Structure 1
Amino acid sequence: MRFNRAVNYREQRGETMKNKYLSASLGLYINYFVHGMALIIIAQNIDFLSKQWHTDNAGAAAVVSSLGIGKLVAVFFSGKLSDRFGRKLSVVLGILFYVLFLGGILISPNVAVAYMLGISAGVANSFLDTGTYPALMEAFPKKSGPANIIIKAFMQGGQFVLPYLISFLIMRQLWFGWSFIVLIAVLCVNLVFVLTRTFPPMAADSPESQAAEPQKARTLHFSLNEICLILFGYVAQTVLYILGQWIAKYGSEVVHMSEGSSRLLVSYGSLGAICCVLVTFLLGNRGIKPIYFMMIYTVMTAVVSLVIWAFPVPAVCTAGAVLLGYFSSGGLIQLGLTLLAEKSSRGKGLVTSLYTIAEGVAIFTIPLVAAAISRVNIGGIFLLNAAVALFGFVLSLIVFTRDRQPVNEAGVQAERARC
């Protein structure tokens, strides 16, 4: 049995290496390398941009929130466009909107103009998501989970590289705008590359998903699995946000670490996330299903969050940052979306939009809740993180339990059809 499994693994690996969509996939991944840098480029250049816009750092930082607005607005049509006109068009539009954002921010005279351009970045993100994730699932139908989770590695890579690029510009006393121009140049070259690549044909609904949902049910209601997995997008975005935005503040104000040491906690989280991507990719290639990762990662996120809250000391906080990076930032969003696309009989672009809406709601609501908690006790934010992660575990457990009861599920669907 072990020999057969090894043979199957080598055959699958060979099929992957011979996949004619590998070059197109590389272009898709490069977009997310730039996307990772674009997410933090305003924060990394905030001193320069605040002077350009004649405002303070808080005013410049407010521009970042516009990305959430653009993402929410675009998801209502980007998914349908992807399903109807193809993944390549959606990806190309995403690249063009990102070029508009980066070039516009560079010459924007004030915060109002910059805010409008920030909305275009959110639109770009939405088009990239609804084009890239379905395209990768169609290019690697047997390994859609590992293919999608590599996106996270490229995003983390971009966020790792950009600070070094900006430090280089500052040390050489060069214009800060070169960091934007480098990103624009990479996107323009990649646009030409993507346009010359062959994308996989859009996949029809799988027989499994068609059997699981009667034709009428597909348009009239959502299954419990779909609801749980869409809600999981809210969970995954929340735990990602709390780690990235609050771990440094928790380290400096609660654990009383130095400013430099507390900032490094974010880097430690990125290190953990990259390790998780590698491990998840390798195990996913071995046949481990996304649902197992989702259950383990959410429950461990809750445990680590509780430990950080209960023991506010530097050693625990540092180790906790690495572990939270691993369990909450190493691909939960990608795993949940991959499983949703597998379980749903709807178009992959549409379910990506629905999942993105859940993420967008989290982007709007969780900062407000976390800010309110921080006025009382910043440590309470990690209790919130634990609670949300446990909710994600419950959602994953529901999906896992229902998948182990196919007969009962069929009976429920039959009963619904009679009604």
Structure 2
Amino acid sequence: MMERSKYFPVAGAVYLNYAMLGIATVIISQYSNYFEKAWSTNLAGISQVISMVGIARIIVILFAGPASDRFGRKAIAITSCISTLIFFVGLIISPNIIVADITALFFGISQSVADTSCYPILTEAFQEKAPSMMPLVKAAMSLAQIVLPFLIAAFPTAVPLLIIFAVIMVLNAVFFALCKYAPQTIEKIDKKVETKTAANKDNAEPIVKRSIWLDGGPLVFIGFSSCITFYLFMQYIPAFGTNILHLSSSAAGTLLSWYATASLISVFVSSLIVTKVKPITIVLLYTVISVIFLFILVLFPSVMLAKITGLIIGFFAAGGVWQLGLSILTTYFPNAKGRVTSYYSCGAALSYWIGPALCAILITNKPGSVVNAFWLDIIITLMGIAAAALVFARDKMKNKEPAEKLMNMSH
């Protein structure tokens, strides 16, 4: 215990880093009215800036993992802090949408390098307790997003709050530099052991073979669609509140707190449910519930429904569907975990680009056009349900195969 306690400070730095990433994810949409004036643009322009984050994530995620292994967790974690710092400062000084686009790229860089440094920091420092430490990353992000609307109410202008956040990132970079780290480990797969294990399994019970296209493909799409479901809601619910529900900017911003609160609760509840219910069943059920409430909100918009839908999307979409999909995928392809995880992560990165990029086209100068972002959310979520239904059906079919093979062998 004493050996592990010396790594608590670096764990604190990781959680603070993700709390600030949670804030950075929604800071532009929360201050959209301010940035529209500052950059002489509209909501479609804001969507364009947000989409640049996804572009950077897609590019950098391909190199961030190897960089973390080669240059060390500390250097890459500090890089994440510096990139987020540039993002916050860039938002302050950006005079137009072009500079804002460039600024957003740094946040995309920060997200990718954070994932490939901070998660390994936790797993290496707390090997036995990693399953209980990892959900706290999502909890830190949700807590920050709960608090943010109240901070925005206290700071109607973005600049003072951005300065505070920039200072926090400087301090956290220094904190990362001073902390102790566990020895870095790089997982290597021994193909001989892997083959031997597979052979032993063949003697014990038939192996269920999975198709990378029919099983893996739909799961990678779920990685994309599940992120779209909560990401578009999170980015556009403030604008929905002001333009459709005619709330003040501060009141519309608090709608995000309902979402963030539910996502925080779901992190812990879903971890208990998954021990009793098959993950693909949870993915399918959660996604269906999410799309139902999105559909109701668009057809019958009201403040109460916006709050309820925020709770629903936070709990059923943002609280673990993406992680469950990844867990199913790596279970299906245990000998290619790294490869399929990279595919799955690319699906998520694409969602952060494609969703806002499409919204930039669908949203016009008319205030009511923000509802198009929610229709897009509904359509892609419905496609996610179809993908989950396919995985669910194939899972049931594949689970019957070993029993049938054993019966045939007995004859």
Band of TM-score, shorter chain: 0.7 to 0.9
- Which of 334, 343, 351 is the matching residue for 1:354? 343
TM-score by length of 1: 0.72
- Which of 37, 48, 69 is the matching residue for 2:23? 37
Indicate the percent of aligned positions where both proteins have the same amino acid.
28
Match of 2:409 in 1: none
Q: Tell me if 1:335 matches 2:324.
A: yes
Q: Distance in 1 between matches of 2:222 and 2:9?
A: 31
- Which of 269, 272, 291 is the matching residue for 2:259? 269
Match of 1:216 in 2: none
Match of 1:198 in 2: 182
Do the aligned partners of residues 180 and 140 (structure 1) sit closer, same or farther apart at CA in structure 2, a change above 3 Å counting? closer
Q: Tell me if 1:385 matches 2:377.
A: yes
Deviations along 1:317-350, one digit per CA (max 9) or x if unpaired, are 3322221222122233333334444544467665
TM-score by length of 2: 0.73
| 8 Å CA contact retained: 1:79, 1:353 | no
Match of 1:217 in 2: none
Which amino acid in structure 1 is aligned with residue 387 of structure 2?
Answer: L
| 8 Å CA contact retained: 1:228, 1:396 | yes
Aligned length: 386
Worse overlay, 109-118 or 133-142: 133-142
Match of 2:268 in 1: 278
Distance apart, 1:125 and its partner CA: 0.9
Give SS of 1:39's match.
helix
- Which of 45, 49, 63 is the matching residue for 1:77? 63
Match of 1:9 in 2: none
Give SS of 1:56's match.
coil
Q: Tell me if 1:227 matches 2:211.
A: no
RMSD of aligned residue pairs (Cα, Å): 4.5
Match of 1:367 in 2: 356
Worse overlay, 75-84 or 142-151: 142-151
User: Which segments of 5 or more consecutive residues in structure 1 lack a partner in the other structure?
Assistant: 1-14, 213-220, 413-419
User: Which segments of 5 or more consecutive residues in structure 2 lack a partner in the other structure?
Assistant: 200-210, 406-411
Distance apart, 1:126 and its partner CA: 0.9
Do the aligned partners of residues 290 and 133 (structure 1) sit closer, same or farther apart at CA in structure 2, a change above 3 Å counting? farther
Deviations along 1:5-62, one digit per CA (max 9) or x if unpaired, are xxxxxxxxxx9x97986665443322211111222344556677778xx742546775
Match of 1:101 in 2: 87
Deviations along 1:359-379, one digit per CA (max 9) or x if unpaired, are 232233323444555569665
Match of 1:118 in 2: 104
Q: Distance in 1 between matches of 2:178 and 2:404?
A: 49
Deviations along 1:206-252, one digit per CA (max 9) or x if unpaired, are 9889849xxxxxxxx94644323222221122101221133344455
Q: Distance in 2 between matches of 1:22 and 1:349?
A: 28
Do the aligned partners of residues 308 and 281 (structure 1) sit closer, same or farther apart at CA in structure 2, a change above 3 Å counting? same
Q: Tell me if 1:67 matches 2:59.
A: no
Match of 1:302 in 2: 291
Distance apart, 1:265 and its partner CA: 2.5
Worse overlay, 30-39 or 113-122: 113-122
Which amino acid in structure 1 is aligned with residue 383 of structure 2?
Answer: F
Match of 2:137 in 1: 151
Do the aligned partners of residues 145 and 389 (structure 1) sit closer, same or farther apart at CA in structure 2, a change above 3 Å counting? farther
Q: Distance in 1 between matches of 2:389 and 2:346?
A: 22
| 8 Å CA contact retained: 2:55, 2:108 | yes
| 8 Å CA contact retained: 1:79, 1:351 | no
Q: Distance in 2 between matches of 1:123 and 1:280?
A: 29
| 8 Å CA contact retained: 2:262, 2:315 | yes
Which amino acid in structure 2 is aligned with residue 28 of structure 1?
Answer: V
- Which of 156, 180, 184 is the matching residue for 2:169? 184
| 8 Å CA contact retained: 1:272, 1:326 | yes
Worse overlay, 306-315 or 264-273: 306-315
| 8 Å CA contact retained: 1:149, 1:335 | no
Give SS of 2:254's match.
helix
